[in-house]
Amino acid sequence: MTKQLTVAVVGATGAVGTAMMEHLTKRNFPIKQIKFLASARSAGKEIKFNNQSYIIEEATPESFKDVDVALFSAGGSVSAALAPEAAKRGAVVVDNTSHFRMDLEVPLVVPEVNRHVLKNIPKGIIANPNCSTIQMVAALQPIREKFGLTKVIVSTYQAVSGSGIAAIDELKAQSVQWEAGKNVEAHVLPVKADQKHYPIARNIIPQIDKFTDNGYTYEEMKMINETKKIMEMPELQVAATCVRVPVVSGHSESVYIELGQEATVQDLFDVLKNAPGIVLQDDIANQQYPMPIFAEGEDPVFVGRIRQDLDNKKGFHLWIVSDNLLKGAALNSIQIVEAMLEDNLL
Amino acid sequence: MTKQLTVAVVGATGAVGTAMMEHLTKRNFPIKQIKFLASARSAGKEIKFNNQSYIIEEATPESFKDVDVALFSAGGSVSAALAPEAAKRGAVVVDNTSHFRMDLEVPLVVPEVNRHVLKNIPKGIIANPNCSTIQMVAALQPIREKFGLTKVIVSTYQAVSGSGIAAIDELKAQSVQWEAGKNVEAHVLPVKADQKHYPIARNIIPQIDKFTDNGYTYEEMKMINETKKIMEMPELQVAATCVRVPVVSGHSESVYIELGQEATVQDLFDVLKNAPGIVLQDDIANQQYPMPIFAEGEDPVFVGRIRQDLDNKKGFHLWIVSDNLLKGAALNSIQIVEAMLEDNLL
């Protein structure tokens, strides 16, 4: 019988936390006991889980006593302060923020790609990668295993839910303003804490997260650095341009790759057809290709529009879509714990 | 004094035709006389131009008698039938459809890039390139002149107005349906004449135009082939993924290029700052970068988010946005005629 776990969910009322709760129920996750934690501001609120009511408790170091697994998605500063405290008290932490991702002692895990690193968790903390990165590496791993991989150039089309519930609400409010011919107000995107805000309804914003000193955004650098870490390929050439689009949920990616050897489109079809967590959706005669409206609420990573580069037999173009709140966040976190259970690591 | 021209506008009621009329007025185009032509279906309708009323006439071969310049944007089959007739009667045709673009005897012109080819118009027909192609080559030409260019990989974020007024109306109708929680109906996009139609509101569609036999769409092949023709670089490696987004007007492009030699971001700034038709909009400290909401209704091609590839000193990433109905269509057509007037070719 599967071990039953005591679980703490930190940040249950956010976009990822909500998806986390739905998927814990949907997947029959082996829960002995569950508690919901948040900042003092949200503590005391009632929350529904699996048809039962729970009161959200204030997250303190002592909250994690006797917790087996702590799922964090309450922002980087909360994880920075409390994830080590949870780990110190024996909980395995799966952290959805970027805070620990590049820490050499913190495994950064997409189970389909590198579940073997779960054997060694020096700090008791596992990082869940960036949403755009997860769906891309899940699709690239089976291709890389068979044909090698030397270069990745990705342009993203990222949904607003990646910026949280406030961004979803803003897209909806702006759409109503736009329809009514009113001034469109922007307060959340591209980055709430940055200086300027731009409408996302009827617009495309080429900024996700703040800018770093090298001209790339943090989101772009996450895709570059996390891809190399998860795939354990420091030598892999990765370039990213990250862009926000007026879609609620479901990130799309236009990905150019160069393989280590020549291949055909059929070769890639064959590899992806049987790959874990991947749905090949590539039937252009019937106009079948991945789109956010198909991916929203679905678990898999959808891959299509596979074309060989016309100038390079090792070059291929892919179109990759997945629900950024599910495989990109909540689902991948849960799968990390499930992988540990399967591998008797918990 | 500039020569005054007798102008025929074929397809004045469409999205491009409407923009054409606005810009003929706005730019004080030297019009001696103007007539508006359309299919029998639209003939007889009244149209306003420069505060005067005109009756749309049915386009027949004889309509082009004594016409100096005929501006076509009424679809490929109309151009196929009537552009040669107009040319035969002495009109210089500027055709906005794809019908003649790859004809070796038809110049394909973006004035900032290749106005010199206007000296030789064997068929009396000049083709206006694809919208996505125009804005890209306008931005790449000054870079290529200084540093050479070997490779282009582009992913587009194309507005619905590229599919005409029906697509704009559909986006608006779908948004209202979406807000009201109703079923979202799709009849126009991705391609009216194709089998299946998908919502564009809150969605991203990785299909523009129909599919060709090689798995690329016609839109993608247009970008590939037209770029090589306009830049007169058959050896240039070009790859394209063309994607529709829920934006009314303003195409965005994420473009990766490889130069013939190493350069710096500052080098590209210096070249683009002084390039004709280009506005460099790249000040990340102040979150300034091109976006469709800034570009709609504006003439220039906006370029920003310029970054050197982290793995290749000859590699650069650009973000290029322009109004697809203006520089991408109507404005470029008018600029072709203006260039001919300046060069005494009319």
Give me the CATH number covering residue A64: 3.40.50.720
pLDDT score, position A220:
98
Q: Is the bond into B190 cis (omega within 30 degrees of 0)?
A: yes
In a 13 Å sphere around the CA of A322, the CA atoms on its Cβ side amount to 29
Least confident of A73-77, B108-112, B305-309: A73-77
Are both B121 and B189 inside the same structural domain?
Answer: no
Question: Which CATH number characterizes residue A243's domain?
Answer: 3.30.360.10
Are both A98 and A237 inside the same structural domain?
Answer: no
Judge contact between A309 and B239, C-beta under 8 A.
yes
* Dist. CA B105–CA B222, nearest whole Å: 17
**pLDDT over 80 at B35, yes or no:** yes
Percent of chain B with pLDDT over 90: 96
**Of B109, B82, B123, B139, which is closest to residue B269 (Cα–Cα)?**
B139
Are both A142 and A94 inside the same structural domain?
Answer: no
A206 → closest Cβ in B151, B265, B305 = B305
pLDDT tens-place string over residues A185-197:
999 999 999 999 9
* Dist. CA A137–CA A144, nearest whole Å: 10
Are both B27 and B163 inside the same structural domain?
Answer: no
pLDDT score, position A39:
86
Judge contact between B11 and B36, C-beta under 8 A.
no
pLDDT score, position B39:
86
Reply yes or no on whether B131 is catalytic: yes
**pLDDT over 80 at B346, yes or no:** yes
Average pLDDT over residues B190-199: 97
Range of the domain at B205: 133-323
* Dist. CA B341–CA B344, nearest whole Å: 5
Cβ contacts (< 8 Å) between B305 and chain A: which residues? Answer: 206, 215, 241
Are both A187 and A298 inside the same structural domain?
Answer: yes
Are both B29 and B140 inside the same structural domain?
Answer: no
* Dist. CA A260–CA A189, nearest whole Å: 39
| Cβ distance of A176 and B176 shorter than 8 Å | no
Are both B120 and B86 inside the same structural domain?
Answer: yes
| Cβ distance of A203 and B292 shorter than 8 Å | yes
A204 → closest Cβ in B216, B284, B291 = B291
Reply yes or no on whether B251 is catalytic: yes
Average pLDDT over residues B112-130: 98
* Token reading at A340: 């540990």
Taking residue B27's Cβ as centre, other Cβ atoms within 10 Å add up to 13
Q: Find the catalytic residue in A99, A131, A197, A242.
A: A131
Are both B117 and B240 inside the same structural domain?
Answer: no
Q: Which ranges of chain B does DSSP label H, i.e. alpha helix?
A: 15-26, 76-88, 111-114, 131-147, 165-179, 218-230, 265-273, 292-295, 331-342
Q: What is the mean pLDDT of chain B?
A: 97
* Dist. CA B177–CA A275, nearest whole Å: 37
Number of domains in chain A: 2
Mutate which of A192, A194, A203 to test chain B, going by most B C-beta atoms within 10 A? A203
**pLDDT over 90 at A40, yes or no:** no
Please tell me the total number of residues recorded for chain B in this structure.
346
**pLDDT over 80 at A2, yes or no:** no
| Cβ distance of A206 and B284 shorter than 8 Å | no
pLDDT-derived band at B308, boundaries 50, 70, 90: very high
Average pLDDT over residues A39-65: 94
Concatenated DSSP letters of A1-43: -PPPEEEEEESTTSHHHHHHHHHHHHTT--EEEEEEEE-TTTT
pLDDT score, position B235:
98
Taking residue A6's Cβ as centre, other Cβ atoms within 10 Å add up to 17
Are both A307 and A333 inside the same structural domain?
Answer: no
pLDDT tens-place string over residues B61-102:
999 999 999 999 999 999 999 999 999 999 999 999 999 999
Average pLDDT over residues A191-215: 97
| Cβ distance of A304 and B206 shorter than 8 Å | yes
pLDDT score, position B1:
58
pLDDT tens-place string over residues B234-291:
999 999 999 999 999 999 999 999 999 999 999 999 999 999 999 999 999 999 999 9
Average pLDDT over residues B181-189: 94
pLDDT score, position B185:
94
pLDDT score, position A26:
94
Cβ contacts (< 8 Å) between A284 and chain B: which residues? Answer: 211, 215
Average pLDDT over residues A118-122: 98
Are both B69 and B201 inside the same structural domain?
Answer: no
Q: What is the mean pLDDT of chain A?
A: 97
With CA atoms as reference, the chain A residue closest to B225 would be A310
Are both A119 and A202 inside the same structural domain?
Answer: no
A256 → closest Cβ in B216, B239, B312 = B239
Write the ipTM: 0.97
Q: How far is B224 from chain A (nearest CA, A)?
A: 10
What is the pairing mode between strands B92-95 and B69-72?
parallel
Are both B86 and B143 inside the same structural domain?
Answer: no
Average pLDDT over residues A234-242: 98
